[in-house]
């Protein structure tokens, strides 16, 4: 393992004003995104949609530091025969790959899941590195509900995250460590804070046990936020203050950066929260974005599977990437949303 090189890539992933595009939706998930816009989820349509984003020059060259890809996309070629990985590299961005293989029910823990995919991961990472991947992602899913999460679910998932991270660094690939506490329930922000703090502390303990070099990784957590069904939704300032406090209690300063997942927040909500956190200042790590839906919902709708809509979809993607770039520097303002180019 060459830690200096891993750190260089990790630092580039969280470079000032830049963040990560999560374009790693599985075939099943992208179908759920395509259905509302009337697009059939074929291999060609999935390719065309992603190619459209990767050719959005402003977003990719100015605001996007890296792109997380799904296995299918990683090996695909653009219509002109250029590998999609090469398009990302040519734009000055870093190709990454989602390596977990989804979730399964966790035995003995009703309603809880374990992320799988460690078997033969070392061999897969070698192939991805040869194909151009310089970072990877693994997502653990922790739900909040009656009697859950259990310690068994938290411990099992954080242990798997740490094993994945160690295998990545052995393969000279920067691991994005993503322990996601879901915001689907009716819990309030304090319950989210409590569970996420526990999960993060366990995550870093397991990373220590597995000898993962913190300087060569990026953390991708959820924010401390109210559950979607909670009657009282926390304000932007409360989310920012509690998330920063939580992270300072859990994430060592050796970690180069923290790239948040949007986790079901609306586009502007995810941007506003990130901006408010960066305005607090005095942070030991860089705070940026690793958004999926919060970057893609607008361009998907604008595109709707039609070639003539590609310029409008690229403008929508450029705009969302630009807004989040500003938020990662604490320079976003809500009135900038209405000034988007038509």
Q: Could you read off the pLDDT tens digit of each residue along the chain, which spans 342 residues?
A: 899 999 999 999 999 999 999 999 998 999 999 999 999 999 999 999 999 999 998 999 999 999 999 999 999 999 999 999 999 999 999 999 999 999 999 999 999 999 999 999 999 999 999 999 999 999 999 999 999 999 999 999 999 999 999 999 999 999 999 999 999 999 999 999 999 999 999 999 999 999 999 999 999 999 999 999 999 999 999 999 999 999 999 999 999 999 999 988 999 999 999 999 999 999 999 999 999 999 999 999 999 999 999 999 999 999 999 999 999 999 999 999 987 644
Q: Tell me if 102 is assigned to some domain.
A: yes
Looking at the domain assignment, is residue 226 inside a domain? yes
Q: What CATH number did the domain enclosing 310 receive?
A: 3.20.20.70
Task: Give the pLDDT confidence score for residue 236 in this predicted structure.
Answer: 97
**Residue 251 to residue 221: CA distance in whole angstroms:** 10
- Residue 283 included in any domain: yes
Q: In this predicted structure, what is the pLDDT of residue 177?
A: 98
Q: What is the pLDDT of residue 4?
A: 97
Domain of 181 in residue numbering reads as 3-332
* CA distances to 73, 85, 86, 140 from 132, in Å: 13, 7, 8, 24
Q: Is residue 338 part of a domain?
A: no
Whether the model clears a pTM of 0.85, i.e. scores above it, the answer is yes
| pLDDT attached to residue 150 | 98
Domain count, the chain: 1
Residue 341 has a pLDDT of 46
- Answer whether residue 17 is part of any domain: yes
Q: Would 269 be classed as within a structural domain?
A: yes
pLDDT of residue 340: 61
In a domain, 175, yes or no: yes
Q: Is residue 75 part of a domain?
A: yes
Which residues are part of the catalytic machinery?
178, 220
């Amino acid at each position: 393992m060459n830690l200096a090189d891993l750190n260089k890539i990790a630092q580039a992933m969280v470079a000032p004003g830049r963040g990560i595009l999560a374009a790693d939706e599985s075939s099943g998930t992208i179908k759920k995104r395509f259905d509302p816009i009337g697009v059939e989820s074929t291999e060609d349509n999935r390719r065309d949609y992603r190619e459209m984003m990767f050719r959005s020059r402003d977003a990719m060259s100015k605001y996007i530091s890296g792109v997380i890809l799904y296995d299918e996309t990683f090996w695909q070629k653009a219509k002109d025969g250029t590998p999609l990985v090469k398009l990302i590299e040519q734009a000055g961005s870093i190709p990454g790959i989602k390596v977990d293989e989804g979730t399964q029910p966790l035995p003995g823990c009703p309603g809880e899941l374990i992320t799988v995919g460690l078997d033969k991961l070392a061999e897969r990472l070698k192939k991805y590195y040869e194909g151009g991947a310089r970072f990877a992602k693994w997502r653990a899913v922790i739900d909040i509900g009656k009697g859950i999460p259990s310690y068994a679910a938290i411990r099992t998932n954080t242990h798997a995250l740490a094993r994945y991270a160690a295998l990545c660094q052995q393969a000279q690939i920067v691991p994005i460590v993503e322990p996601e506490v879901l915001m689907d329930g009716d819990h309030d922000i304090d319950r989210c804070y409590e569970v996420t703090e526990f999960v993060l502390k366990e995550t870093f303990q397991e990373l220590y046990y597995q000898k993962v070099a913190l300087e060569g990784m990026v953390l991708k957590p959820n924010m401390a936020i109210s559950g979607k069904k909670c009657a009282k939704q926390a304000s932007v300032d409360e989310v920012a203050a509690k998330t920063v406090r939580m992270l300072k209690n859990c994430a060592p300063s050796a970690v180069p950066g923290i790239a948040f997942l949007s986790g079901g927040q609306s586009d502007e909500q995810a941007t506003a929260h990130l901006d408010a956190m960066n305005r607090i200042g005095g942070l030991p790590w860089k705070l940026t974005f690793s958004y999926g839906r919060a970057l893609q919902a607008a361009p998907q709708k604008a595109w709707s599977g039609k070639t003539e809509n590609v310029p409008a979809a690229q403008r929508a993607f450029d705009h969302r990437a630009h807004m989040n770039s500003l938020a990662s520097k604490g320079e976003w303002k809500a009135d900038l949303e209405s000034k988007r180019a038509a």
